[in-house]
Structure 1
Amino acid sequence: MKIGLFFGSFNPVHIGHLIIANYMANYTDLDQVWLVVSPHNPLKEKGDLINMYDRLEMAKLAVENTQNIRVSDVELKLPQPSYTIDTLAFLHEKYPEHHFSLIMGSDNLVSLKKWKNYELILRDYHIHIYPRPGFENAELINHPSVTITQTPLMELSATFIRKSFKEGKNVQFFVSDPVLKFIESKNLYK
């Protein structure tokens, strides 16, 4: 099975993430997409990062009724900080019957050379790229391991959603109803 790994903080998971995952699972050669909840991206500040288990639960709620999108907690069980190459090696060993590839925005392609063992990622794995405004000419965009998709452009961000929660604004339709209920029940992002 071809599985696309969509890594993220998912702080919170929102409609933009789900649109990208759905597109990748249904409009590319991938059979499934796994949302891989990351405890903390080593290249980002922790900032407003909430508990990783709350983020995991929100991701599960967001995809509970989908056919070919699931959630993985693999990075929560691995040593931290979590590096993509280590997660890929672990998954390859645990699921040798699957072929894993990465899903990332063109903005992440720009910083890929900062990743641990990025050369091995490019050598051994395929990368499905969804476009992000302003990052159309990333250095590795024409690499043979990279495929640019026609995923609908999404300018929705978790930062915007967290800010909206803090300001008491309505975020209905930006996050799924089960995720919104979970956030409200735990009084997150206030």
Structure 2
Amino acid sequence: MKKVGLYFGTFNPIHSGHLIIGNHMVEFSDLDEVWFVITPQSPFKTKKSLLDNQHRYQMVLEATEAYDKLKPSRIEFNLPQPNYTVTTLAYLSEKYPNGYDFSLIMGEDNLKSFHKWKNYEVILENYSIHVYPRISDGKIAHQFLSHPKIFRVDDAPIMEISSTFIRKKHKEGKNIKPMLPPEVWKYMDEMNFYRN
């Protein structure tokens, strides 16, 4: 049985922090692989700063190519919108009925609001959650602190790089190259992304 951690995000763009977290989760937990699940652009919300799905997929592909245990996933691109995590998990479980055990990867900050997610009880009943530390305010709901399906991955580096910061500073003409995998920087630069 292959244990796969699903790391959801817009990855707009994917940066070194995402790779460090994904790699840490696969190397220091019971996960065999981490799939970077790229959240599609919602047809109901056209966010100007969000790159086209295919470009974001390409950057994740370029960023993860050198890592055998890290994979890009565009599984949500073909699901009806608006989409919910519980729907994606059900779809993946149907698509891969044998040999795969799917898990959610989330930051501690997301765990604080997890009780607001659609059908969060169904997720917890059927899937485990691997949590990495984040600097954030607020308390984690008591029911999640010692839940048998929620695993804290200790000693994970706390990454305070954000895609929003990268886009903003790149637009201002700052050098953000060290925050990105070289392949992502090359693709971004060639395509002239996030400059306007």
Residues 23-42 of structure 1, C-alpha deviation per residue, up to 9 Å, x if partnerless?
0111100000000001148x
Tell me which residue corresponds to 2:91.
90
Q: Share of identical aligned residues, percent?
A: 48
Hey, what's the Cα distance between the residues in 1 that align with 2:145 and 2:70?
26
Q: Which runs of 5+ in 1 are unaligned?
A: none
Give the structure-2-normalised TM-score.
0.91
RMSD value over aligned CA atoms? Answer: 1.8
Of 108-117 and 159-168, the range deviating more from structure 2: 108-117
Could you tell me which amino acid in structure 2 is paired with residue 114 of structure 1?
A: K
Tell me the SS of whatever aligns to 1:147. Answer: strand
Matched, 1:57 2:58: yes
Give the match for residue 149 of structure 1.
153
Q: Partners of 1:178 and 1:136 in 2: how far apart? A: 37
**Separation (CA, whole Å) in 2 of partners of 1:106 and 1:30:** 18
Once the two structures are superposed, residues 35-80 of structure 1 have per-residue CA deviations (whole angstroms, 9 ceiling, x without a partner) of 0001148xx9946211111111100000011111101110011111
**Total equivalences in the alignment:** 189
CA apart distance, 1:116: 1.4
Moved over 6 A (4+): none
CA contact (8 A) 2:5 2:104 kept: yes
Matched to 2:184, the amino acid is: V
Provide the residue aligned with 2:178 in structure 1.
173
Contact 2:41 2:52 in 1 (8 A): no
CA separation of 1:136/1:64 partners in 2, compared to 1, >3 Å: closer, same or farther? farther
User: Higher mean Cα deviation, 17-26 or 105-114?
Assistant: 105-114
How far apart are the structure 2 equivalents of 1:109 and 1:94? 27
Matched ranges for 1:19-98 at <5 A: 19-40=20-41, 46=47, 48-96=49-97, 97-98=99-100
**What stretches of structure 2 of length at least 5 have no aligned partner?**
none
Q: Is 2:114 the partner of 1:112?
A: yes
Secondary structure in 2 matching 1:173: helix
Aligned partners of 1:109 and 1:141 also within 8 Å:
no
Inter-CA distance 68–109: structure 2 relative to 1 (3 Å threshold): same
